[in-house]
Amino acid sequence: MTEIKENENAYEPEFGILYEDNHIIVVLKPQMTACCPDESKDDNLFDQVKKYVKIKYNKPGNVYVGLVHRLDRPTGGVMVYAKTSKAAARLTAGLQSGDFEKKYLTVLCGTPDEERGTLSNYLRKNTVNNMVYICTPSEDGAKYAELDYKVMESKGKYSLVEVRLHTGRTHQIRVQMAGISHPVFGDMRYGGALAQKGKLALWAYCLSFSHPITKERMRFIACPPETEAPWKAFDLSKTVEIK
C-alpha cells in the first residue's frame, strides 16, 4: 500500500491565521477548544498549530511551538504562539513585564451601575470542582486580580462591555463580573443566563505586544461572530473602535 504523505495542500487548519512570520504566529482560537494539551486529552490549538507548521514547511521530527499565554477553553479570540525558543522567551518576558495589552468583549447579564470601572479582588481556585472564588488576601492560594471595564452598549437585559485585563487569572473576567452581580451571558457556572449552543459570550478581541525580534509594536483585532447570539443584538462595527 502506498503511504499518503501530508502536505500543505492536503491540510486546512481548523483555526484562522491573522499573521505569521519566521518568529511568531497569531491565530484565532475557536471557542470550546483548549489552547494547549490538558488532562482531557482533547484536540487542542497548540497541537493544531504544531501540525500546521510541520506540514506547511515540511519540517522533519518534532516541531517547536511555544505557548506564551492562555485563554480559557470557552473563550475564543486572538492568541499568539512563538515559532522559535528565542521568540518564546522574549514574548514571555514581555508578558510578565506588562508589555502585552489584552482586551476582551463580553455580553453581561444586566448593566453595571457605573459606565466605567476598575475591579480589584483576590481570587482562589478550587482544583476539585475547577471553580474560582473571590476571597480574602490571607487565604491560601489567593492571587490578586485586576481589570478595567467599559460599557459599550446596553440592550434590554444585557450589555456589551469591553474589558482590559491587568492580570491573567483563571476565569478572571467571569468571576469578577459575577462578583458585581453581572455574570457573563451563557456562563451557567457563575450564574449567567443560558446561551444558545452553550457558548460563553466572552471573546479576546484585541491583543497588542512588541515583536520579539523587530521590536515593532503589533496590534491585532478580531471581533466575535457577529451573526451569532448574543453578539448579533449589538452593532459591533459601530460600537467597537477599530484603529
Place of cell 495589552: 101
Instruction: Establish whether 72 is a catalytic residue.
Output: yes
Is 166 within 8 Å of 148 (Cβ atoms)?
Answer: yes
Q: Note every long-range contact of 146-149, with CB atoms under 8 Å and residues 24 or more positions apart, other chains counting.
A: 146/118, 146/119, 146/120, 146/121, 147/118, 147/119, 147/172, 147/173, 147/176, 148/116, 148/117, 148/118, 148/119, 149/112, 149/116, 149/117, 149/118, 149/119, 149/177
Indicate which residue of 72, 99, 148, 235 is catalytic. Answer: 72
Nearest Cα to Cα of residue 105 among 237, 193, 3, 15: 237
Strand, helix or coil at 227?
coil
Residues labelled catalytic: 72
